[in-house]
Amino acid sequence: MSTLTDTRNRPLRDLRISLTDRCNFRCTYCMPRELFGAEHLFLPKRELLDFDEIERIARIAARLGVTKLRLTGGEPLLRRDLDVLVARLAAIDDIHDICLTTNGSLLTAKRALQLKTAGVNRVTLSLDALDDERFKAINDVGFSASKVREAVDNAVAAGLAPVKINCVIQRGVNADQILPMAAAFRHTGVVLRFIEYMDVGASNGWRMDDVVTAREIVDTLRTRYAITRAPAAQPGETANRWHYDDGAGEIGIIASVSQPFCGGCTRARLSAIGELYTCLFGVHGRDLRGPMRSGANDAEIAALLAGIWRAREDRYSEQRGEQTAGRRDGDGDGRVEMSYIGG
């Protein structure tokens, strides 16, 4: 295992790969229709990394210490022949875990099984409300919550376990869905994770007041359920784990805003066109595609990647307090969008 570490002694362990900047949803907090409407120019296909290029970067990253890949986007299931890519990634030595984050709209029973067979270990689905009308308003394309629940069932049936659900909570939008969501997924083995709404990108008009903190989420859950904090399963875990005292299962809370976890952040992100970001809140990525397309060999790409990681200083969430002090709410300072580099 490589001992490559950054300036804060954090190893490189996870690579999140954005497979496309496109999405068939227009979640109001991620790809608001006003900014991602008919006029929006998505990347042309030739700009996207092809499967050879993605596999090559993953292979080089694995040699530098990466053991876990997460395929995301945009909506990763929009990428044709995804199972072919997965099989190639699963064959890389030292990659032990391949996860997928999806909105579930295209996760049929057949596709779930294909992905499992190809080598996806786990799936995280996003579902921000149980109430159909509310969910349709959030995804802004009229997709119903029950269809996402079918996709959850498809993932479970395919053995993509443990299936997790991401639920981003925004004040005044879906905080009243915390208890119904908890009720729906207790006793199912599916791990529901509430996520604090983050100031990613520049298009969602984020304000600190919109954030429902982990503390508030726990307090809400405790109005109905007895829950106890569980120790982290592994170091650097992003979610705070909780258990229902009655044995109904696990629940997670990702407190990226109120309890930042930069100290244990071992993640790099690769955009769909091959830029490497060392933080979700990055402004500029470093281009790996250019050198690859102009003939750099593996050793040169590895040296480039290692150099970027060694110089990494990012701890945006820990510094958010200081940074937002001098900034207007909703002013993204040029930060890259979540749909562009993946969650």
Confirm if 158 and 115 have CB atoms less than 8 A apart.
yes
Q: What does the longest C-alpha to C-alpha distance in the chain come to?
A: 60
Of these partners, ligand SAM, ligand SF4, none, which one is at the site of residue 262 (CB under 5 to 8 Å by kind)? ligand SF4
Q: Using CB under 6 A, list all residues that contact ligand SAM.
A: 23, 29-30, 72-73, 75, 101-103, 126, 166, 168, 195, 197-198, 200, 204, 338-339, 342-343
- Per the structure block, which two tokens stand in for 264? 């244990």
Helix (H) or strand (E) holding 157: helix 145-157
Confirm if 28 and 83 have CB atoms less than 8 A apart.
no
Q: Kindly give the pairing relationship between strand 275-277 and strand 286-287.
A: antiparallel
CA atoms within 13 A on the CB side of 86: 27
Of these partners, ligand SAM, ligand SF4, none, which one is at the site of residue 197 (CB under 5 to 8 Å by kind)? ligand SAM
How many binding residues for ligand SF4 (CB under 6 A)?
A: 24
Kindly tell me which of 125 and 288 has the beta carbon lying closer to ligand SF4: 125
As a whole number of angstroms, the distance between CA 196 and CA 207 comes to: 12
Cα 105 to Cα 28, 95, 101: the distances in Å are 17, 27, 12
As a whole number of angstroms, the distance between CA 125 and CA 136 comes to: 16
Binding ligand SF4 (rule: CB under 6 A), the pick from 14, 20, 25, 130 is 25
Burial class (CB in 10 A: 0-12, 13-18, 19+), 44: exposed
Of these partners, ligand SF4, ligand SAM, none, which one is at the site of residue 280 (CB under 5 to 8 Å by kind)? ligand SF4
Give the nearest distance from C-beta 120 to ligand SAM in angstroms.
14
Does 261 interact with ligand SF4 (rule: CB under 6 A)? yes
Binding ligand SF4 (rule: CB under 6 A), the pick from 6, 11, 66, 75 is 75
Does 21 interact with ligand SF4 (rule: CB under 6 A)? no
Kindly tell me which of 30 and 160 has the beta carbon lying closer to ligand SF4: 30
Looking at 11-19, 44-52, 303-311, 313-321, which segment touches ligand SF4 (CB under 6 A)?
313-321
Does 6 interact with ligand SF4 (rule: CB under 6 A)? no
Looking at 56-64, 67-75, 79-87, 301-309, which segment touches ligand SF4 (CB under 6 A)?
67-75
- Per the structure block, which two tokens stand in for 89? 């990634």
Kindly tell me which of 273 and 279 has the beta carbon lying closer to ligand SF4: 279
Of these partners, ligand SAM, ligand SF4, none, which one is at the site of residue 72 (CB under 5 to 8 Å by kind)? ligand SAM
Does 244 interact with ligand SF4 (rule: CB under 6 A)? no
- CB burial readout 211-246, b (16+ within 10 A) else e: bbbbebbbebbeeebebeeeeeeeeeebbbbbebee
Give the nearest distance from C-beta 233 to ligand SF4 in angstroms.
18
Give the interface with ligand SF4 as residue ranges (CB under 6 A): 23, 25-27, 30-31, 73-75, 103, 126, 260-262, 265, 267, 279-281, 314-317, 339
